[in-house]
Amino acid sequence: MSARNTDIEKAAGVLRAGGLVAFPTETVYGLGANAEDPAAVTRIFETKGRPPSHPLIVHLGSVEQLADWVEEVPETARLLAEHFWPGPLTLVLRRGRRVPLEATGGLETVAVRVPDHPVALALLSAFGGGVTAPSANRFGSVSPTTADHVRAELGESVDFVLDGGPCAVGVESTIVDATGEELSVLRPGGVTREELEAVVGRPLAVPATSRVRVPGQHPSHYAPRARVVLVEPEKVIAEAEAAQELGHRVGVFLPAAFAGAPVAAHAVVAVPGAMDEYARELYGFLRELDQRGCDLIVASLPEERGLGLAIANRLRRAAGPRTVPSASAPSAAAGVPTGSAASVVPTASSLQEG
């Protein structure tokens, strides 16, 4: 870990004083506050521009602390916690009394996890309590996977940024509703459905729509400034070249099967064939293409198994309709190829995030 002990102590002090600390986890960087300080928790929502109805994840330093934060720990939840923590699995359970409603978006359930990152664990241990943390980015935009991403996006509005290097997993945690014995995956993420099923010994439900009761639908998330269009892998090059021809500055997610093929576009990133590597790079690629001035990104979905399920979920959300266009986003210009996109987009999850 690259953060020094003095930084950890300083960050824990900031949390105790009601401040906000951005910190690395194995998934993405989080924007943390003392989970038991409603004013500090409220600042997270203000800083991100996140609607207060969107619940946060409470990060704990050890499995042993779980019982202090939830009303009860069902047997299957305990099994999952003991098997996957520290790790990229979030459990939704009934809210314990010490969790303020500000952190749960008013819900009687709470999302909890123990992150698998030495800096996060050192911070949680030094602080002693629970740290509520969503991803350290503005609501709806691409999650940060380096400390520089956090500084570039949130800058002075965060009291302290702990730098722990680039995140190893790169996509958010898997969220499992474990309030009853009937489990369901609310968001695919760093722990795969297959890994979960191997531990619980039965198939898991992955609902297409979320059971999270939060008002409003925000289909577009994890979104770069550039519009994202999804097409079949074998159509990526032709679609990208056609859009470039029409005057777009096109960024291309070139599928591994076409590695090295020439593409007449503004910028090209080579998609890794290995899904763990792709997950690690995904958000960095989206940011890179924005930085290089692309106004359109042409990509395809990976196979939806293993980590490919989480990657496809994020790409669909990045390509989702933009209900609240950001001021800096280019307007939906005529000539954007969307025809073939429709064939691969329709099962987008409507989970609320940010």
| 22: enclosing H helix or E strand | strand 21-23
Is residue 203 reached through a cis peptide bond, with omega within 30 degrees of 0 on the bond before it? no
In which order are the strands placed within the sheet that holds 184-187? 160-161, 21-23, 30-34, 131-132, 57-59, 109-113, 89-94, 174-177, 184-187
Which of Mg ion, ligand AMP, none is residue 59 near (CB under 5 to 8 Å by kind)? none
Q: Which residue among 8, 80, 111, 297 contacts ligand AMP (CB under 6 A)?
A: 111
By the rule CB under 6 A, 349 interacts with ligand AMP: no
Q: Which two tokens stand for residue 71?
A: 């009303």
x/- site string to Mg ion, residues 324 to 353, per CB under 5 A? -----------------------------x
Nearest residue by C-beta to Mg ion?
A: 135
How many residues form the binding site for Mg ion (CB under 5 A)?
Answer: 3
Residue 116 DSSP label = -
How near is the Cβ of 143 to ligand AMP at its closest, in Å?
7
How near is the Cβ of 127 to ligand AMP at its closest, in Å?
18
Stretch of residues binding Mg ion (CB under 5 A), selected from 130-138, 200-208, 246-254, 258-266: 130-138
The residue (of 88 and 251) whose beta carbon lies closer to ligand AMP is 88
How near is the Cβ of 262 to ligand AMP at its closest, in Å?
37
Instruction: Please list every residue from 137 through 196 that binds ligand AMP, using CB under 6 A.
Output: 172, 175, 186-187
Instruction: Please list every residue from 35 through 94 that binds ligand AMP, using CB under 6 A.
Output: 54-57, 92
Distance CA 322, CA 217 (A): 10
The residue (of 83 and 138) whose beta carbon lies closer to ligand AMP is 138
The residue (of 96 and 330) whose beta carbon lies closer to ligand AMP is 96
The residue (of 102 and 239) whose beta carbon lies closer to Mg ion is 102
Which residue carries 């531990």 as its tokens?
Answer: 199
Which distant-in-sequence residues (6+ apart) come within 8 Å of 98 by Cβ?
A: 36, 68, 69
By the rule CB under 5 A, 174 interacts with Mg ion: no
By the rule CB under 5 A, 135 interacts with Mg ion: yes
Which string of b and e fits 293-311 if b means at least 16 CB within 10 Å? ebbbbbbbbbebebbbbbb
By the rule CB under 6 A, 135 interacts with ligand AMP: yes
Which of Mg ion, ligand AMP, none is residue 104 near (CB under 5 to 8 Å by kind)? ligand AMP
How near is the Cβ of 256 to Mg ion at its closest, in Å?
27
Which of Mg ion, ligand AMP, none is residue 267 near (CB under 5 to 8 Å by kind)? none
Neighbours of 198 (CB within 10 A): 10
By the rule CB under 6 A, 302 interacts with ligand AMP: no
Which distant-in-sequence residues (6+ apart) come within 8 Å of 53 by Cβ?
A: 105, 106, 214, 215, 216
Q: Which residue among 212, 289, 307, 341 contacts ligand AMP (CB under 6 A)?
A: 212
Give Cα separations from 5 to 1, 8, 125, 246 (angstroms): 10, 5, 12, 54
Distance CA 199, CA 192 (A): 11
Residue 52 DSSP label = T
How many residues form the binding site for ligand AMP (CB under 6 A)?
Answer: 21
Q: CA triplet 288, 263, 170: central angle to 5 degrees?
A: 30
**In the chain, where does DSSP find H-type helix?**
5-16, 38-48, 66-69, 75-84, 101-104, 118-127, 147-154, 193-200, 236-245, 275-291, 308-318
- Residues near Mg ion (CB under 5 A): 135, 353-354
- Residues near ligand AMP (CB under 6 A): 54-57, 92, 104, 107, 109-111, 134-135, 172, 175, 186-187, 212, 351-354
